[in-house]
Structure 1
């Protein structure tokens, strides 16, 4: 009860502080004006500047007092308001700089409490805008790089294909590269659009209950050709657990993680997929025995366009794991990655399922 009363008192004090400050300022301006005016007329009377005729006249003396109060009050108000308006001018200058793109601007107003709160909110807003600007710049730079590379490649091989004396084997090889780079561009455009759609989505739509184990089995069937091409062994431990969410979005999560595992697992390697349920949550594990991820790269793998392979020798555009992370977060879950060089990588996805029957 005491804590509640203290909280209410602080909130009430914060709300009343600015009106109270202005009320006190007006009161003191009036008070000082009256004192100064009274003191001036007292001194004028002592030095004989005011004669009996002025004192007896009922019009002149009140008029003189009124004029003196107006002049003195205006002078005092001008001096006092300069200090009060100074903080507002500082805020206006700060907003002007922020509007012009200077996101490093910070306010340090401390009094009254409302101005302190205003400063904190302004600084938080400037920090957020600065972060968004950095992300936007990085996104544009990375997208430009990822988009330009296949375009240049397609242009170069298309020019070489114009030569009539080109052997059929080389022509077919160049055509395959053009087709591959075109597919890479299409994949990049699709992923960017998908990521944009997911990032603007704050509420999960099209939620329904479905068999998560069966969905994973279907994803494995879709990728059968890739598994067979690299002669990969599968270690699968799946269960018919019910999960509620957007089935289409979660399908992208499983396909992305499985495709990543196939991509980085050497020929003849092994991929493990597991499921378990505990404390109202379902945990999915995707393990490969590939080269692993370096400790320096591990914190960045969910960043947009980040690829550990800077040579781009492996297919991809660095958006798959970003999309996976956003979808998992949208479902109220978590995704983590554990990896050791030359030992493999494990992605762990945990999704809530407390309201579903076992």
Structure 2
């Protein structure tokens, strides 16, 4: 508030000073001009004694000199405004490299800094939009092309039963992948459109996580992955369906990147008025360069897109946790594993049912 008030006073003072200087210059030049006219005899004694004539001459001189002085001064001030207008036109035209370098008055310097920050943000959004379109197109095109190709091969009557079944399995797998992508895009659109969490009710989050572990138990058995779940019963106020999606996404992600005979650990502990939930695996890990991007849309560390998934799961998880007033962070050491740590508001610890 004080900073804003100081800014307003500063700008008012700047323009007041400018007007005062213009007025002072006008008066000084007019005075000097009248004095010179008197010295050179242009203004005789009769004219000087006639108050009306002298006033009229002085007024005309002030208007003319004031107009010229104001025009010269305003050109400098309007130059900054024209620079700003040109920069906004370039920005509106899609040139996000446009930058302002206005230093005076101080408020124009602040205007430049805010404009440059806005240009940076818009440039970043444009890059994200382009990446989103490119990745989205790639993720949709790949399974469609695959399905089309194998469907054409299946028209061959000379295929053996084993080959036909193999190709049908691929078509089914690609169809499932396409359906999952469509489902994830819809889920992401839904959670991104939400600013207020709906369907909030207290429920046992520990029990929900245990149920998710059971749902994915078959997947873990196929890879001979062992899981340690140190999960207590805590009551959390939230959207039960959304948080269920979080646990399934994180567990499925851990299974995907954990090698055969690997280990996954899920733990939970009280952290003041929040609960801390940790998902840890001993997979290949994430590189330092990729770590800041793990929650970005369609981002996959495997640029070949050979791994299952479409890079939307963690984006959805991040948004859901934000809607619940919590935080999620990712830590990883290459070749040692990855850890996702979540903090959620907790109502209370429930008594053990054992």
Counterpart of 2:183 in 1: which secondary structure? helix
**Do residues 233 (structure 1) and 226 (structure 2) align?**
yes
The 1:68–1:311 alpha-carbon spacing in structure 2 relative to 1, beyond 3 Å, is closer
Q: Is this contact kept in 1: 2:233–2:349, CA < 8 A?
A: no
1:69 pairs with one of 62, 87, 90: 62
- Determine the structure 1 residue equivalent to 2:120: 127
Change (3 A) 1:30 1:345: closer
Q: 1:268 to 1:39 in 2, by over 3 A?
A: closer
Q: CA deviation at 1:244?
A: 1.5
Report the Cα distance in structure 1 between the residues aligned to 2:202 and 2:13, rounded to whole angstroms: 57
Written as runs of structure 1 = structure 2, the 5 A alignment for 1:257-272 is 257-272=250-265
Report the Cα distance in structure 1 between the residues aligned to 2:285 and 2:6, rounded to whole angstroms: 58
Q: 1:356 aligns with which of 342, 348, 352?
A: 348
Q: Equivalent residues in 2 for 1:108-147 (5 A)?
A: 108-147=101-140
Give distance in 1, aligned partners of 2:289 and 2:110. 39
Specify the SS of the correspondent of 2:157: coil
Is contact 2:234–2:348 with CA below 8 Å preserved after alignment?
A: no
Structure 1, gaps ≥5 residues long? 1-6
Residues 143-222 of structure 1 mapped to structure 2, 5 A cutoff: 143-222=136-215
Note the aligned Cα RMSD (angstroms): 2.5
1:50-74 deviations in Å (ceiling 9; x for gaps): 2345345555433322222211111
Between Structure 1 and Structure 2, how many residues are aligned?
350
Q: Distance in 2 between matches of 1:193 and 1:332?
A: 22
Give 3-state SS (helix, strand or coil) of 1:176's partner: helix
Q: How far did residue 142 of structure 1 move?
A: 1.4
What whole-Å deviation, never above 9, does each CA across 1:205-250 have from its counterpart, x for those lacking one? 3222110011112222332432344444332222111112221211
Alpha-carbon deviation of 1:315?
A: 1.6
Separation of aligned partners in 2, 1:259 and 1:336: 17
Of the three residues 312, 330, 341, the one matched with 1:337 is 330
More divergent stretch after superposition (153-162 vs 59-68): 59-68
Aligned to 1:255: 248
Determine the C-alpha separation between the residues in 2 that align with 1:344 and 1:71: 80
User: Distance in 1 between the 2:11 and 2:252 partners?
Assistant: 60
TM-score, normalised relative to structure 1: 0.88
- Asked if 1:245 corresponds to 2:241, the answer is no
Counterpart Cα distance in 1 of 2:78 and 2:215: 68
